[in-house]
Amino acid sequence: MPTAVVAIGGNSLLRPGERGTIEEQRRNLKTTCEGIAALVAARYGVVVTHGNGPQVGAALLRSEAAADQVPPLPLDVCDAETQGSIGYLLQQTLQNTLGRRGLTQTVVAMVTQVLVAMRDPAFRQPTKPVGPFYTRAEAEKRRARLQWELVEDAKRGYRRVVPSPEPKAIVELLPIQRTLESGALVIACGGGGIPVILHDCQLVGVEAVIDKDRVSALLASQLGADLLLISTGVDEVALNFGTPEQRSLNHLTADEARRYLQEGQFPPGSMGPKIEAALSYLEHGGREVIITSPEKIPEALRGKAGTRIAPQPA
């Protein structure tokens, strides 16, 4: 049975303008789960990864707001909390979706740790924004009291930034493999995984955020997956995005994708990390990448939508 790793983005849970209620997230997940069910119906073994940016921000905000009544939670524990809550919503919605289609796979959500290097340069230069915006005075208090790094957004205030180190190994890789081999659909590496380091031969959580697409590429490579499907907010990859010269791309080779990336066609804050993840997966023996929106997953599997990236020309 072929294996697919499906990386779903934040738009699978929250859409622009929404508050982020559980009802909204359940409703949005239904569309994505229909696409994932199409993969199961096509007889793929499936592992699903997901983002958690807005949910971690909300968890940090709740933790800080209640700090005078209960102890605040560190970022790695907030990662774990959101892995559990999003995993539950995904697990239940997927199980219901599969059941309506007459598919009997069990869905298992797995809290996942991801090993990073203590000496990763990212720890010396935090860049990943997390949590709410603060006024200058609020930011200075937190910088002094909590030793946070904060950066200014000229229009919205100050925001905490944390390291975004490169994932080195997935701690629970073997349980993921065995659960997948049992015939279950696995949800793992949520939000990029909980970042941990090895200190005195012990795993220790760190306050950092790992890029979800990077971890998905690593997981797909280590599982020997046949397909990495990246679900995002656009139907396909495009050149000159957002300009009158915008042109959609249905097929790309790895060399073409790398060239366009170097030319600046895929910015770091949007399509860039997805293309980098696709290239990493293909460079480590991956067979095919599909990038598309949640709504277009079934069509993309039939070659009718999305962007396919292959190691070499077909």
User: Which residues carry out catalysis?
Assistant: 10-11, 128, 212, 274
Rounded to whole angstroms, what are the CA distances from 104 to 5, 99, 108, 126, 215? 19, 6, 13, 44, 28
- CA-nearest of 309, 169, 209 to 252 is 309
| In the chain, beta strands by DSSP E | 3-8, 45-50, 107-109, 113-115, 128-134, 149-153, 157-162, 169-170, 185-187, 194-199, 202-205, 227-231, 237-239, 247-249, 251-253, 289-292, 307-310
CB of 149 within 8 A of CB of 96?
Answer: no
| Cα–Cα distance for residue pair 237/249, rounded to 1 Å | 6
Q: Is 255 helix (H, G, I), strand (E, B) or coil?
A: helix
Residue 28: in which H helix or E strand, if any? Answer: helix 22-41
Give the C-alpha separation, 122 to 275, whole Å.
20
**Structure-token pair, residue 98:** 């599969």
User: Distance (Å, rounded) from C-alpha 314 to C-alpha 304?
Assistant: 16
Task: Write out the E strands in 163-313.
Answer: 169-170, 185-187, 194-199, 202-205, 227-231, 237-239, 247-249, 251-253, 289-292, 307-310
